[in-house]
Structure 1
Amino acid sequence: MLGRVRVAEKEIGGGKARALLVALLMEANRMTSVDRLVDALWEDEPPASAVANVRTHVCTLRRLVGDTGTLVSHPGGYELVVPEGTCDATAFSARADAGRAALADGRAEQACGLLQGALALWGADRAAVGVPRGGWLAARLGYLDEERRRAVEDFAEASLRVGEPRAALRDLAALLAVDPLRTRSWALRMRAHHRLGEQGGVKEAMREAAGLFRAQLGAPVDTSLVRLHDDLCRSGS
């Protein structure tokens, strides 16, 4: 579900069926109540037929899941039993956590490999593309999106440590294009330009960041970013 929602490369038709699958995957290997599933699919205004609709979508998903998992009925709910390594979101989280731990331990080269592998699982910059985000599902998918953005920054940090500033710049540019108020990303971008000897790039990044923060927040950039910019400019002069 890191991009479009698929089961064994088969697309799933219907936004509610996709949302139900994503909700069950988010709660994989434990029972999720029908009420909780209804909240994920319809939030505040479920139709009178909501419970019956969930049953219909479950039947559809059972046929699609096939050998990749088991959709179990429980009194009052359903459980999607997913073998280890089957769900891309779970694999991403495991690799990203391992990469982050390696980075914290100073194993930058290993961190690069793990984080690059984690990010390669994504087919888009947003989880569950085309799935309506309602109820608790909106928060869970939003958290997964944020974890991807953190992994991009962690990979940029690791790339800088192993002497690959171009790789850091490439991924940071894509991230800042869609989420331009990330102080850490701007700091990493300035450090990458500095590592490449591009003092003009350091200054331009600071100008861009300051303009965006003023325009979108009506506030200056964080003082840590200003200090970093000044330090980099001094050390590069």
Structure 2
Amino acid sequence: MSVRSTVRVQREVDVRLLGGSSVSGPTAGGVVPGGVKTRTLLVALALDAGTAVSTERLLDYLWEREPPRSAVKNLQLYVSRLRRCLDTANTGFARLLVHVGHGYRLDVRPEAVDALWVDGLARRGAAALRQGDLPTTVAALTPALAGWPVDGLAGLVPSGPATTVTALWRERRLAAVEHLATAKTELGAWAEAADLLAPQASAHPARESSQVLLMRVLAHLGDRTGAIGVYRRLWHVLDSDLGIKPGVEARAVYEEILGD
């Protein structure tokens, strides 16, 4: 299946990372790896599905600080646990987690991993928006966000790589919401754009791009008071938390609303 498809088809194995890790397959569904390190190992391997991930990289994922002397043996234990989880979901089929060289590889297709599938759609939607292809933007981003919970990659070891990848996937979802909302406004679906933006703007009050979009949408819908309230909240959060003021675009939209 190509990432160009907006319908996710069940493969022999389906790896879910977003909103909690699990594996489904021909013989079992929703098998959850036990333990935070085993779940983190699944994420580290699945995000590079079909590609070998070095032992050193996996050790970085699994330990918040310097790995202990027994780290390699412990990694082998977590690999064994993850293999049992995969085998439970895929009994009778080829082994999916293989040792290769100085690392391990998860032998599943990228589109079988929910995070990679939604990311492919998000990239397609963003590209379509840049090209002015609004129907394709909506067609790609709507199913992507439907399968992309707000908490994204959660419950991982708080290591450097895991923290980085969690933040990356959070940013990608925030951007996808903004892209879809922008397409909705250009198609005249202003109320739908407001429904998309309001929860995000509330959860991320210092994210200026979401606040500016929401201000524009509310003003267009005739909610001048709401739009002004969004700006004042943004001003307060930026001033109190970061010691800065809203940017040029936010101030320009605010002044335009006041002028109206």
Aligned length: 234
Tell me, yes or no, if the aligned pair for 1:111 and 1:155 is still in contact at 8 Å.
yes
Q: Secondary structure at the match of 1:78?
A: strand
- Superposition TM-score, scaled by structure 1 size: 0.92
Mapped to 1, the partners of 2:234 and 2:222 lie a distance apart of 20
1:176-187 superposed matches below 5 A: 176-187=201-212
2:56 matched to 1:31? no
Post-superposition Cα deviations, 1:73-104, rounded to whole Å, max 9, x if no partner, equal 11321111222420011111110011111111
Q: Secondary structure at the match of 1:85?
A: helix
Mapped to 2, the partners of 1:203 and 1:32 lie a distance apart of 49
For residue 2 of structure 1, the aligned residue among 10, 14, 18 is 18
Residue number in structure 2 paired with 1:47: 68
Q: Secondary structure at the match of 1:7?
A: strand
For residue 250 of structure 2, the aligned residue among 221, 225, 231 is 225
- Quote the sequence identity (%): 32
AA partner of residue 213 (structure 2) = L
For residue 163 of structure 1, the aligned residue among 173, 181, 188 is 188
Post-superposition Cα deviations, 1:181-226, rounded to whole Å, max 9, x if no partner, equal 1111111101111221222222111111111111111111112110
Change (3 A) 1:179 1:15: same
Mapped to 2, the partners of 1:136 and 1:127 lie a distance apart of 15
Tell me, yes or no, if the aligned pair for 2:153 and 2:169 is still in contact at 8 Å.
no
Unaligned runs of 5+ in 2: 1-16, 25-29
Question: Which segment is superposed worse, 37-46 or 58-67?
Answer: 58-67
Q: Secondary structure at the match of 1:4?
A: coil
AA partner of residue 29 (structure 1) = G
2:236 matched to 1:215? no
For residue 134 of structure 2, the aligned residue among 108, 118, 132 is 108
Mapped to 2, the partners of 1:193 and 1:128 lie a distance apart of 31
Residue number in structure 1 paired with 2:223: 198
Residue number in structure 1 paired with 2:36: 15
Tell me, yes or no, if the aligned pair for 1:72 and 1:78 is still in contact at 8 Å.
yes
Post-superposition Cα deviations, 1:2-55, rounded to whole Å, max 9, x if no partner, equal 111111222222000001111111222211111211111014322222111111
Which consecutive segments of 4 or more residues in structure 1 shift more than 3 A?
Answer: 66-69
1:18-167 superposed matches below 5 A: 18-66=39-87, 67=90, 70-122=96-148, 124-167=149-192
Post-superposition Cα deviations, 1:158-192, rounded to whole Å, max 9, x if no partner, equal 11111222222222222123221111111110111
Q: Secondary structure at the match of 1:10?
A: coil
* RMSD of equivalent CA atoms: 1.7
